[in-house]
Amino acid sequence: MRNNFYTFIYSLFLMASSFAIPSKAQEISEDDLRTHIKILASDEFEGREPGTKGGIKTVHYLAKQWFDAGYVGGAKDGSFYQSVPLVKRLPQSHIVTYNKNNFTREIGNSEIALIGKDAAEKFSSSTIFGGYGIKDDGSAIDNVRGKAVFILGGNPPFIEGEAASVNVRSDKLAQAGAAAVIIILSEDSDWRRFSRFLTARPVSLQSSDSGIRINGLASFDYGKSLTKVANMSWKKMLKSAENGKFNGIDLALISNWNVQTSIRKYDSYNVIAKLPGSKPDAGSVFFTGHWDHFGYCRPKGEKDRICNGAIDNASGMSVLIEVAKHLGKKKFDRDIYFVGTTAEEDGLLGAYHMVDNPPVNIKKIAIALNVDTIAIAPKGAKVAIIGRGTTDLDPIIEKIAKGLGRDIESSTDANAFIRRQDGWALASKGVPALMVGGSFSDLDLLSKFLSSDYHGVSDDYSEDTELGGAAEDAVLHLRLAEHFANLNTYSGIKGSE
């Protein structure tokens, strides 16, 4: 306890500050935002990597800020923390051999890269050349259960859109029971460059693990050599793969797999805070922003090793803290949620986990607003909407923005970023999920950041960090929340019946 004298001095200080006349323009100021960015992007937070001390520090910081602002835990168990089980896999070593009749052949292990589901994957199986892995109706080729399937990486000529993507094709083969799926790169893909793609996203949700025991990449030449070992024509095989009825060829080779993978399973956390509304049946207003970044991102011995992520996304979280504080002083009809998501940088993983395990009925979310990379634009920037045209909310948002004296960017250029932010995880489940603000209206300014400090050690906080636009956007988010959280200003939620 403090002694009485200091308590007295302290209460005088409180009185003095409550007599200060708040300036209207300073509802949320640049300085308010600076306080949190400075802390979240400090070296003490070690770049906020999920599964590290810095990550834990970050989630506690957010929970404390929202708790102090009058919020309750919004996770299903009533706490502020929703566990997000993650797994990080990195290749260690591998040996693959093939048996043809009674001979064992090796193609060489340098142009094939493999990752196991478990730390040690060791088995033998039939070997299939699967063409593109699917047929023209989008279904997996037949007879892949328990087998190793080599598929082509490029675009199948007989199918378009999402179904053509190599991820969807691999998923189809996983569902059909393939034991190993190896993607053969196209002829013009440089092996040394593209083999890194296998480890570019080493973290995934534990819940997304499929039955595939080995995932891999192989060079075009490896594919060629493989068919040679099988005494078959690579050219002919490539030709038949072009046909949408192609159903795979058994290469009559037994493949012997021995793959060692370093695996770390761990929990990270989405921080979920709730401001209970007076009419919770009316649904909710959602704010999301990712708290995570890349942690120690440079090798030992380098001078600056920490990717502090000041703009990406300490800036967004600081806006969400300040907006929450202001809303916490008022009462609303709908529940208001603030969610700090984890593992966005690994592919929106925390957000995907949240929509698969939602703390609310996601059909009753009136609007979800994601805040990411908000410290870009100066004061006076136009307001852009990522997701423009995907909901019927654009006119409402524009009216509110204009009411604050903001100009509107009416093009849909910002939609180029729609899949690169957490809102996409919600939008893909039918939630009206948008990003609104200035940092995506001046795309030249944004590209300047994306081609310099972005995802590097220089995304640091400094006194020069531009927060003029962020402070204006924070106020805009206040007004949006007030509008969408009350039934007299916004009654309708599409599809809520």
The neighbouring-strand residues paired with 112 are 218
Give the amino acid at 29: S
Shortest Å distance, C-beta 71 to Zn ion: 26
Cβ-based nearer residue to Zn ion, 312 or 482: 312
Beta-carbon count within 10 A of 46 CB: 20
Cβ-based nearer residue to Zn ion, 151 or 445: 445
What the block records as the tokens of 279 is: 């009419």
Shortest Å distance, C-beta 301 to Zn ion: 25
Cβ-based nearer residue to Zn ion, 273 or 311: 311
Shortest Å distance, C-beta 312 to Zn ion: 4
Shortest Å distance, C-beta 295 to Zn ion: 12
Cβ-based nearer residue to Zn ion, 30 or 345: 345
Shortest Å distance, C-beta 436 to Zn ion: 19
Cβ-based nearer residue to Zn ion, 322 or 345: 345
Shortest Å distance, C-beta 367 to Zn ion: 23
Cβ-based nearer residue to Zn ion, 353 or 483: 353
Shortest Å distance, C-beta 59 to Zn ion: 18
Cβ-based nearer residue to Zn ion, 114 or 311: 311
Q: Give the residue at shortest CB distance from Zn ion.
A: 312
**Residue 136 to residue 243: CA distance in whole angstroms:** 8
Task: Give me the residues that bind Zn ion (CB under 5 A), please.
Answer: 312, 345
**Residue 349 to residue 91: CA distance in whole angstroms:** 21
Shortest Å distance, C-beta 455 to Zn ion: 6
For residues 130 and 286, the answer to whether their CB atoms sit within 8 Å is: no
Shortest Å distance, C-beta 270 to Zn ion: 17
Residue 263 C-beta-side C-alpha neighbours within 13 Å: 17
Cβ-based nearer residue to Zn ion, 121 or 312: 312
Cβ-based nearer residue to Zn ion, 345 or 422: 345
Choose among 129, 119, 303, 323: nearest CA to 226. Answer: 129
Cβ-based nearer residue to Zn ion, 344 or 442: 344
Cβ-based nearer residue to Zn ion, 345 or 472: 345
Shortest Å distance, C-beta 305 to Zn ion: 18
Peptide bond into 313 cis (omega under 30): yes
Shortest Å distance, C-beta 52 to Zn ion: 17
Cβ-based nearer residue to Zn ion, 173 or 307: 307
**Residue 60 to residue 304: CA distance in whole angstroms:** 25
Shortest Å distance, C-beta 316 to Zn ion: 10
